[in-house]
Amino acid sequence: MYMFFVSVLMREIQQDKEFEKMFFEYPNKLLHHLENYLIKLHEQGKIPKGNFKYTANFFYSLLSSILVFQLTLPYLNEQINPDIDEMIDEVVHLFTVSLFNPRES
């Protein structure tokens, strides 16, 4: 089912340039917004230097995975019975701890 959904989505993106723009434009705006926010926090001395472009990408990738997991694997969701709010809180906690306590270079 998931692979069917992905293949239909990819065909639509290739055939409809307006859909392609919408599909990629919004996530890119979110990524740039978070990257810029992290840069501002660094400039204010609130977080140490890091690769904020990667950090933003990783953050949104994890959140997107939660959404895809929910939409495409309902049987597995019944088995695991995840608490989506708790999963999101855990992702935010993971990144917050990482930002304030970076690894040693």
Q: Tell me, yes or no, whether 54 lies in a domain.
A: yes
Mean pLDDT for the chain overall: 79
The closest of 61, 65, 57 to 34, measured between CA atoms, is 57
pLDDT at residue number 6:
60
Residue 70: domain span:
25-100
Domain count, the chain: 1
For residue 23, which amino acid is it?
A: F
Please identify which residue in the block is written with the tokens 């990629």. Answer: 24
Confidence of residue 105 (pLDDT cuts 50, 70, 90): low
Mean pLDDT of 71-90: 71
DSSP string, 34-92: HHHHHHHHHHTTSS----HHHHHHHHHHHHHHHHHHHHH-HHHHHHH---HHHHHHHHH
Question: Where does the pLDDT of residue 91 fall: very low under 50, low under 70, confident under 90, or very high at 90 and above?
Answer: confident
Distance separating alpha carbons of residues 89 and 34, to the nearest angstrom: 17
Give the global pTM.
0.66
Instruction: Give residue-wise pLDDT tens across range 14-70.
Output: 787 777 777 777 788 889 999 999 999 999 998 988 899 999 999 988 888 777 666
